[in-house]
Amino acid sequence: MSDDSVDGGGEARDHPQERLARLVNLLADGLDELGHLGPIPRAGAAEQLATVAREVIGGLAAVRREAFREARADGLTLTQIADQLGVSVQAVSQVLRKRPDD
């Protein structure tokens, strides 16, 4: 087996997409769990989740922009990128035009 599928202890490692799917599910479960907290703990937990969400969302634009640039460097056209993601060519073009500090 390759190093990508087994860690040093012999356990199979998840692929990045599987880890991402688990993370999304954990976040959704966390939102469900908020309802089981009292009002003050729930408000505190909601604020913590909101802070993390803002940080993640802020970083996602740069991640997406870099991924689009890599896809272009690999030879994909704007139309191919848009078709594969189910978005408009204009949306892809707008992302690529933004500067990293926008």
What are the tens digits of pLDDT across the range 71-90?
A: 999 999 999 999 999 999 99
DSSP reduced 3-state for 69: helix
Distances in Å between the alpha carbon of 41 and those of 21, 35, 38, 50? 27, 10, 6, 14
Where the chain has pLDDT below 70, the residues are: 1-13, 100-102
Domain count, the chain: 1
Is residue 89 situated within a structural domain?
A: yes
Read off the pTM. Answer: 0.55
Is residue 86 situated within a structural domain?
A: yes
Is residue 90 situated within a structural domain?
A: yes
Is residue 92 situated within a structural domain?
A: yes
Residue numbers of the domain that contains 93: 37-97
Helices (H), ranges, 1-102? 16-34, 39-73, 78-85, 89-97
Is residue 13 situated within a structural domain?
A: no
